[in-house]
């Protein structure tokens, strides 16, 4: 019981540390991803993850996060080939950023994110990041 | 004509074998189904179901996470990394390491194990050690449930599938695969049964801790039961009483207990029928299964049943085929309590929205009770 109490307290503390305004910019958050990139974790891996935001007004758009040769970059637009394309609304992406929608099961199981391609590639991208506390997000 | 019920009232009443205004139409529409819809079609499961005219039935691990994790300082550590796009998970222990590898499924289906964690007696010994050194970790994710509940409203139910499978089916489906499970049972029966018992005790605690805090009204064991992977004797020994234990706990907390049995069930029916769970769902006719919904509806006066429309019908190029099958099921179960029209297993990838709308039309036109 004590262990569970401590876990709950730790999770609540973590939830307090994340914050994304409701009128946030998807693009601004995606463009920060290279800052969190951990080349040591990624090794020689090449990975391309596309985010397509729909039905979200000014946040609509397509961005590509690419990992190759120990570098991470974000650019607007969709490439010819990708590992996965995430098709989602800005509201859903905000829930991913804040950790309200943990990325291993919820986006897929609820259909809140439609995955085109290899759905594990999104989790893999997150595995190659080290997100600092002052980013106030849980995942990308 | 009875007063019109909401989707939620209709589904819950049918699961409780109470009268309904019309037959509920609650198939297992999943991301795998949606992956075959046009790109700009609604992709949130609840929204897609609403769009094609279903009563909403979603299956997601929703408001409580409950999993067994290695105790700190026990010498057991969880392993998680990616290898060539596959997810590798497992445990490192003083006796050795065991890992499994999962790959993304095709056509938007779930991730699937491509290398099993437990394939040898030594793996089984290591796994027993992992279980002995684990504690139940639960986390409150009710914010997620609330988000889904706001969206679904009174149009249906959000079921909880976070309670896992029976230990035997967990081995068959995820940890060892069919062949390894039976080899391990044959080669190391004492050890195998010790692991089954240990897992069952842990599952009971997990279900209790989840159920007592959860807002969900319906819990689903995704058993995928089928005589193609187990004999009646195996079902009786490793699944029947275990499922009854889960039912007793869930009922004690006022929950409905539903078991997903999407395989071939005919020769298991005499053992399934006396089960203390409330419903068997996603019952499949041939070719994937071997039981028509109207046959299953006669199994027991205490058991609700859901399913009935097979994969071949869903994939028909003519929506009329779907309409006619729905009418056939409705006519053959008319007057019976506890019948929900649904899919045999999940609705397959490639099913058109028009076919689903045709079934909704049949329900609307001839489904009144």
- CB within 8 Å of B247: residues ≥ 6 apart: B257, B275, B276, B277, B278
For residue B188, the domain's CATH number is 3.20.20.210
Tens of pLDDT, residue by residue over B81-135, are: 999 999 999 999 999 999 999 999 888 788 999 999 999 999 999 999 999 999 9
ipTM: 0.93
* Residue B200 forms part of a structural domain: yes
pLDDT at residue A2 in the model = 58
Contact B104 A108 (CB under 8 A): no
pLDDT at residue A4 in the model = 62
Q: Average pLDDT for residues A7-29, to the nearest whole number?
A: 83
Q: Which domain holds residue B303?
A: 7-65+137-366
Q: Are B208 and B164 in contact (CB under 8 A)?
A: no
Smallest Cα distance from B80 to chain A, Å: 9
Sheet with B304-309, strands from edge to edge, namely B218-221, B256-260, B279-283, B304-309, B339-343
* Residue B59 forms part of a structural domain: yes
For residue A124, the domain's CATH number is 3.30.1050.10
Tens of pLDDT, residue by residue over B301-313, are: 999 999 999 999 9
Q: What's the structural domain count of chain B?
A: 1
Q: What's the structural domain count of chain A?
A: 1
* Residue B214 forms part of a structural domain: yes
Round the average pLDDT of chain B to a whole number and report it. 95
Whether A98 contacts chain B with CB within 8 A: no
Alpha helices in chain A (DSSP H): 2-17, 26-31, 33-36, 39-42, 90-98, 106-109, 120-127
Tens of pLDDT, residue by residue over A66-102, are: 999 999 999 999 999 999 999 999 999 999 999 988 8
Contact B104 A121 (CB under 8 A): yes
Tens of pLDDT, residue by residue over A41-52, are: 999 999 999 999
Cβ of A72: how many Cβ atoms within 10 Å? 20
Chain B residues 101-120 with CB within 8 Å of chain A: 102-105, 108, 110-111
DSSP B283-313: E--TTT-S--HHHHTTS-TT-EEEEEE-HHH
Whether B86 contacts chain A with CB within 8 A: yes
* Residue B230 forms part of a structural domain: yes
Q: Average pLDDT for residues B185-194, to the nearest whole number?
A: 98
Tokens of B360: 């909704």
Half-sphere exposure (Cβ direction) of A134: Cα atoms closer than 13 Å: 1
Q: Average pLDDT for residues B195-209, to the nearest whole number?
A: 95
Using the predicted structure, report yes or no on whether residue A7 has a pLDDT greater than 70: no
Tens of pLDDT, residue by residue over B211-255, are: 988 899 999 999 999 999 999 999 999 999 999 999 999 999 999
Taking Cα atoms as reference points, which of B22, B301, B361, B254 lies closest to residue B13?
A: B22
**Where does residue B315 rank: exposed (0-12), middle (13-18), buried (19+ CB within 10 A)?**
middle
* Residue A40 forms part of a structural domain: yes
């Amino acid at each position: 019981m004590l262990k569970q109490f401590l876990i709950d307290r730790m999770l609540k503390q973590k939830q307090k540390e994340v914050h994304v305004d409701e009128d946030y910019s998807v693009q601004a958050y995606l463009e920060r991803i290279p800052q969190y990139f951990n080349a040591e974790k990624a090794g020689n891996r090449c990975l391309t993850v596309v985010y397509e935001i729909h039905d979200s007004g000014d946040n609509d758009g397509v961005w590509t996060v690419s990992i190759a040769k120990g570098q991470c970059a974000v650019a607007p637009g969709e490439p010819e080939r990708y590992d996965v394309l995430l098709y989602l609304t800005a509201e859903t992406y905000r829930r991913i950023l804040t950790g309200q929608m943990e990325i291993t099961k919820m986006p897929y199981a609820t259909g809140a994110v439609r995955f085109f391609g290899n759905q594990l590639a999104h989790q893999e991208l997150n595995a190659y990041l080290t997100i600092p506390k002052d980013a106030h997000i849980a995942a990308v | 004509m009875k007063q019109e019920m909401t989707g939620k009232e209709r589904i819950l009443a049918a699961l409780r074998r109470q009268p309904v205004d019309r037959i509920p139409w609650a198939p297992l529409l999943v991301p795998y189904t949606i992956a075959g819809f046009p790109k700009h079609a609604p992709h949130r499961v609840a929204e897609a179901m609403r769009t094609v005219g279903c009563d909403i039935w979603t299956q997601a691990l929703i408001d409580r996470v409950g999993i067994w994790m290695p105790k700190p300082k026990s010498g057991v550590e969880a392993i998680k990394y990616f290898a060539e796009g596959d997810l590798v998970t497992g445990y490192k222990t003083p006796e050795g390491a065991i890992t499994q590898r999962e790959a993304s499924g095709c056509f938007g289906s779930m991730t699937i194990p491509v290398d099993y964690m437990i394939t040898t007696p030594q793996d089984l010994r290591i796994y027993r050690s992992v279980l002995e050194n684990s504690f139940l970790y639960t986390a409150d994710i009710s914010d997620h449930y609330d988000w889904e509940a706001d969206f679904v409203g009174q149009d249906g139910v959000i079921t909880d599938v976070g309670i896992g499978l029976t230990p035997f089916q967990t081995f068959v489906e995820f940890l060892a695969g069919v062949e390894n499970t039976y080899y391990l049972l044959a080669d190391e029966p004492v050890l195998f049964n010790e692991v089954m018992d240990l897992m069952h005790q842990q599952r009971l605690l997990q279900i209790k801790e989840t159920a007592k805090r959860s807002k969900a009204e319906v819990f689903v064991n995704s058993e995928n039961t089928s005589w193609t992977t187990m004999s009646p004797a195996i079902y009786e020994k490793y699944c029947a009483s275990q499922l009854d234990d889960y039912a007793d706990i869930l009922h004690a907390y006022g929950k409905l207990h539903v078991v997903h049995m999407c395989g071939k069930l005919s020769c298991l029916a005499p053992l399934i029928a006396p089960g203390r769970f409330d419903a068997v769902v996603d019952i499949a006719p041939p070719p994937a299964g071997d039981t028509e919904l109207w046959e299953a509806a006669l199994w027991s006066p205490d058991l609700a049943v859901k399913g009935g429309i097979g994969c071949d019908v869903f994939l028909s190029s003519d929506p009329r085929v779907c309409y006619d099958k729905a009418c056939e099921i409705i006519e053959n179960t008319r007057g019976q309590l506890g019948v929900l029209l649904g899919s045999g297993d999940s609705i397959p990838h490639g099913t058109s929205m028009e076919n689903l709308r045709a079934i909704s039309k049949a329900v609307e036109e001839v489904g009144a009770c």
